[in-house]
Amino acid sequence: MEKPVKNEKLKNWIEEVRQLCAPDSVYVCDGSKKEYNTLMAQMVESGAAIKLKKRKNSFLFRSDPSDVARVEDRTYISTPEQAQAGPTNNWVAPDELKATMKDLYKGCMKGRTMYVIPFSMGPIDSPIAKIGIEITDSPYVVCNMHIMTRVGKKVLKKLGKKGEFIPCLHSIGAPLEPGQKDVSWPCAPIEKKYISHFTDENLIWSYGSGYGGNALLGKKCLALRIASAMAKREGWMAEHMLILRLTSPEGKQYHIAAAFPSACGKTNLAMLRPTIEGWKCECVGDDIAWMKIRPDGRLHAINPEAGFFGVAPGTSYDSNPMAMDTIKKNAIFTNCALTDKGDVWWEGMDGKPPRHAIDWKGRDWPNENKEVAAHANARFTVPASQCPVICEDWEKPEGVPIDIFVFGGRRAGLVPLVYEAYNFNHGVFMGASASSETTTANIGAVGNLRRDPFAMQPFCGYNMGDYFRHWLDMGDRLGDKAPRVFYVNWFRKTSDGRWLWPGFGENSRVLKWMCERVDGKAEAVQTPIGLLPKLGSLDLKGLKIDERDIHELLKIDMDAWKAEIPDIEKHFAQFGDRLPDELKKQLKALQERLG
């Protein structure tokens, strides 16, 4: 077991966890295809996985109905002082939380194999990358981590004898007694689920859930919650942002990092197919950006992940043809429906629904209760390298230079199609006050307004007031090399509920205007909220859209914006004296411009 492990700290930690969790055996993952295929074959044999006839090397899993998504109310940021975690995080003191979880971990891997997964977030040789070690008792987690990160011997070699790593301990919390039959998706009841982050120690402990970001600890846990706290200490940025490259007909490259709350078209934008002639779009990453200032003084970004963990329902050749082509093979599907032909299906997929399928709970569908066939949060896990529009530089160790930051949300009214910040600090204000109307993909009643600063509210590993300060500090360090900042809203409607903007590939027209703003080519008009496209400066060639709709898309309703101010004030007030004075100044300046 310990032969491939030469790092003393890692050896000691493996032994400590082995004694605490009491597995039947310990296995150090090598990241090979053979390892992946062996584990998958075991899960097919046990009934945990279903091999899909219609997709090469692809498998379907069904989770327990209690274990279907991230559990924000069971997710903790544990710091010595509650103020360090701030008002947007669940806090428990480290000693108390560790005592509770150690009791749960005692013997929790009985009857199971303890897998040690050495993984790299980012290309192994990148100066921006970090190494994590996940210990888990779930073979499903191992296979997903194979796709989502870079796993195996190369990581251990890079770690060496004295390298630093981020320990990530995970258990499904379902020990097996001798002779006890396993279930297809073992997990613990909701009240025993804990996803805990000890940010001062760069330590993650997760218990009780086998699903998604609760169990694939490289994902939100390390890549955002732990990484955001590390980035604050070390002077870089870990953000919930897609990264894309846009190339003009003249061959000039622009790199855009964009943050949107869920259900706002993030993955669709990451894999955009431009509708404007001569422009090319390539995906660098669909979810997370790690960014450092390089010797050229600019911010360079890597995608720390190696795969896509996407929401299946709603994904189609209409909404995201590139994603549909990406998942044709080598994919893991979770909580999708199974057709009689041996393929997956979900609501929103192209074509007619199947006449019969097995739903995500393993029942015949359609059923008399008219329930959905695929869970709303059903997922696909797939290698990013399979994406037809993956950028050739997506694994470039030093990353790509960011020209533009984009924030956005879903607002039926108020927010125009696009506007630009007056300066970087104004852009930070835009990100800090970002809002979206909730949909069925969010928690809360449909249509409620939810502030989600930088799309990081569930993922910031420390006090968000300090996080805003970090953004302002990074802007000061970048100076005139800071990216330009824009805000978009693809979701504006008429009073009778009609979409004003066609969206999808047409969003490339808005991105083109941003690039032309960076180059000083496109005109803008000053408004109280920021710089809006001058009529005629958006490229609408070939787009059938009523001129009145364009006017409506770019309209600023002064009274509606004035009515928005109290909600921004209330949002900022929760951060107390941690709120940077600069954001108070930006809010006051907006009020004054509104008159």
Catalytic sites, residue numbers: 264
Q: Which alpha helices (DSSP H) does 357-484 contain, by range? A: 424-432, 464-478
- C-alpha distances out from residue 60 to 107, 184, 192, 335, 529, Å: 30, 12, 26, 8, 47
Strands 203-207 and 166-171: parallel
Angle of CA points 193, 199, 202, to nearest 5°: 95
CB 221 within 8 A of CB 198: no
Count of CB atoms situated within 10 Å of the CB of 482: 20
DSSP structure string for 131-172:
EEEEEES-HHHHHHHHHHSEESHHHHHHHTTT---EEEEEE-
| 569, containing H or E segment | helix 558-573
CB burial string 125-160: b at 16+ within 10 A, e below: ebebbbbbbbbbbbbbbbbbbbbbbbbbeebbebbe
DSSP 8-state code for residue 354: P
Bridge partners of residue 311, in order along the sequence: 379
In angstroms, the CA 135 to CA 30 distance is: 14
In angstroms, the CA 578 to CA 385 distance is: 41
DSSP structure string for 178-247:
TTPPPPSS----GGG-EEEEEGGGTEEEEES--SHHHH-TIIIIIIIIIHHHHHHHHT-EEES-EEEEEE
